[in-house]
């Protein structure tokens, strides 16, 4: 088991940065998700930790040892690849035994350990099959078994569920989570799926265009995004972001709305904003319908999602916002409703710097 520490790690291809200098400390036993859209540098970062990609600068420290220039085989990491990367000519058993055989383990040891890990992943009946004969879910289980069998100090997973069918994905998600809890091994998990990251990770590293946007617990990145990118990227739909102007302790919003920020915010806004422009951010569930609410918007569409209803509201001409309301409430398209925002769930961003304004309290 091990800590992973990245110090100013970067990856350049010529002039182009795949990963801008990045600092990250991953505690022993922690499950960290690298989350971002494709091309954001998350996989490159993972491959640098694995040693499959050389760094252009910075240092990688694994369990106190500088491994920056060590080969993958010298790092004591295991990796699960997006497309499994099983050895097609070997049976499932041989695939799982491969890392042990490569290390020259004794026959009995190999047999015992493969059996243990196959039991853990419930794949004993598949051990004689070749990967080509297995479903993608089973292939991924074999790939997980191969990663687990050596008991490495950390696991690196590169979109391990990306190639699976939707219904399989959820099963495997809880399975990976269960394995993590059982093994308590440091895990770095790359994904572009924020639901996966939210559901599994202790901490999420949100990346975009080679830059770390925010590092925090799922709750932190969800409720307190550090900038506009994170606010939009996390959550489905993302955070509502409404442009307004800050003057006289009131934010003027589209459609003639005037919003007085909750306690503590006016001072923070005075200090933090670079100009008069401000962006008000709030999650759909922060909307509280109230006949005397200080904000008004027209109902654009009403989508019943089963356990709740998602309203799309139009504030002004082209500002649509999402509001999550009770499934019992009824609205007609076109009507104007009034609402308030849950004071603890309102966030403010500076449109110039795109950064969140820190609350003063």
Residue 207 sits at φ, ψ, to 5 deg, of -120, 150
Q: Is 269 in the site for other proteins (CB under 8 A)?
A: no
**Inter-residue contact 255 to 319 (CB < 8 Å):** yes
| Closest to 97 in 3D by CA, of 118, 79, 121 | 118
> Which alpha helices (DSSP H) does the chain contain, by range?
42-50, 92-102, 107-120, 136-148, 166-183, 194-200, 218-223, 228-233, 265-272
Q: Is 189 in the site for other proteins (CB under 8 A)?
A: no
Burial class (CB in 10 A: 0-12, 13-18, 19+), 219: exposed
> HEC states along 22-64?
EEEEECCCCEEEEECCCCCCHHHHHHHHHCCCCCCEEEEEECC
Select from 44-52, 275-283, 317-325, 345-353 the region that touches other proteins (CB under 8 A): 44-52
Which of residues 11, 24, 40, 81 is near other proteins by CB under 8 A?
A: 81
**Span between the terminal Cα atoms of the chain, in Å:** 39
Which of residues 65, 73, 171, 353 is near other proteins by CB under 8 A?
A: 73
Q: Is 88 in the site for other proteins (CB under 8 A)?
A: yes
Which of residues 23, 66, 103, 124 is near other proteins by CB under 8 A?
A: 103
Which two tokens mark 298?
Answer: 């027209």
Select from 47-55, 195-203, 230-238, 321-329 the region that touches other proteins (CB under 8 A): 47-55
Q: Is 113 in the site for other proteins (CB under 8 A)?
A: no
Residues binding other proteins: number (CB under 8 A): 26
Q: Is 79 in the site for other proteins (CB under 8 A)?
A: yes
Which of residues 48, 77, 179, 230 is near other proteins by CB under 8 A?
A: 77
Do β-strands 16-26 and 4-13 pair in parallel, antiparallel, or remain unpaired? antiparallel
Burial class (CB in 10 A: 0-12, 13-18, 19+), 58: middle
Which of residues 8, 27, 102, 247 is near other proteins by CB under 8 A?
A: 102
Select from 27-35, 70-78, 222-230, 302-310 the region that touches other proteins (CB under 8 A): 70-78
Select from 17-25, 45-53, 112-120, 233-241 the region that touches other proteins (CB under 8 A): 45-53
Residues 137-176 binding other proteins (CB under 8 A) are: 146, 150
Select from 12-20, 79-87, 164-172, 273-281 the region that touches other proteins (CB under 8 A): 79-87
Which of residues 93, 98, 259, 339 is near other proteins by CB under 8 A?
A: 98
Nearer to other proteins, 143 or 207 (CB): 143
* Distance, CA of 167 to CA of 169 (rounded, Å): 5
Residues with Cβ within 8 Å of residue 258, at least 6 apart in sequence: 250, 251, 252, 294
Rounded to the nearest whole angstrom, what is the least distance from the CB of residue 59 to other proteins in the complex? 21
Rounded to the nearest whole angstrom, what is the least distance from the CB of residue 107 to other proteins in the complex? 16
Q: Which residues bind other proteins (CB under 8 A)?
A: 50-52, 71-73, 77-79, 81, 83, 85-90, 98-99, 101-103, 130, 132, 146, 150
């Amino acid at each position: 088991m091990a800590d992973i520490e990245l110090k100013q790690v970067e990856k350049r291809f010529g002039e182009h940065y795949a990963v801008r200098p990045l600092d990250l400390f991953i505690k022993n036993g922690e499950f960290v998700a690298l989350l971002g859209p494709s091309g954001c540098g998350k996989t490159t970062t993972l491959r640098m930790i694995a040693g499959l990609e050389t760094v252009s600068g910075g240092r990688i420290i694994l369990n106190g040892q500088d491994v920056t220039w060590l080969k993958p085989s010298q790092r004591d990491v295991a990796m699960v690849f997006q497309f499994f990367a099983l050895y097609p000519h070997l049976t499932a058993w041989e695939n799982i035994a491969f890392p042990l055989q490569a290390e020259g383990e004794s026959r009995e040891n190999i047999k015992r350990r493969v059996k243990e890990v196959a039991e853990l992943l419930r794949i004993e009946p598949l051990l004689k099959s070749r990967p080509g004969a297995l479903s993608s879910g089973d292939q991924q289980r074999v790939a997980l078994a191969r990663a687990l069998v050596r008991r490495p100090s950390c696991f690196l997973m590169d979109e391990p569920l990306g190639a699976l069918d939707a219904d399989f994905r959820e099963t495997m998600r809880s399975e990976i989570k269960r394995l993590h809890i059982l093994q308590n091994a440091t895990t770095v998990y790359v994904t572009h799926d924020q639901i996966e990251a939210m559901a599994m990770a202790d901490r999420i590293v949100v990346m975009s265009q080679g830059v770390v946007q925010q590092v925090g617990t799922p709750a932190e990145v969800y409720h307190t995004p550090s900038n506009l990118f994170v606010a939009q990227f996390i959550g489905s739909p993302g955070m509502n972001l409404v442009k307004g102007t800050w003057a006289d302790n009131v934010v003027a919003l589209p459609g003639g709305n005037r919003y007085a920020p909750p306690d503590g915010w006016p001072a923070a806004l005075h200090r933090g904003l670079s100009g008069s422009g401000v962006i008000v951010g709030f999650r759909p569930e922060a909307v509280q319908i109230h006949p005397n609410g200080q904000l008004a918007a027209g109902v654009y569409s009403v989508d019943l999602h089963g356990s709740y209803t998602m309203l799309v509201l139009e504030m002004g001409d082209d500002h649509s916002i999402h509001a999550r309301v009770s499934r019992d409430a009824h609205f007609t398209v076109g009507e104007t409703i009034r609402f308030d925002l849950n004071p603890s769930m309102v966030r403010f961003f500076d449109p110039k710097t795109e950064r969140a304004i820190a609350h003063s309290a």
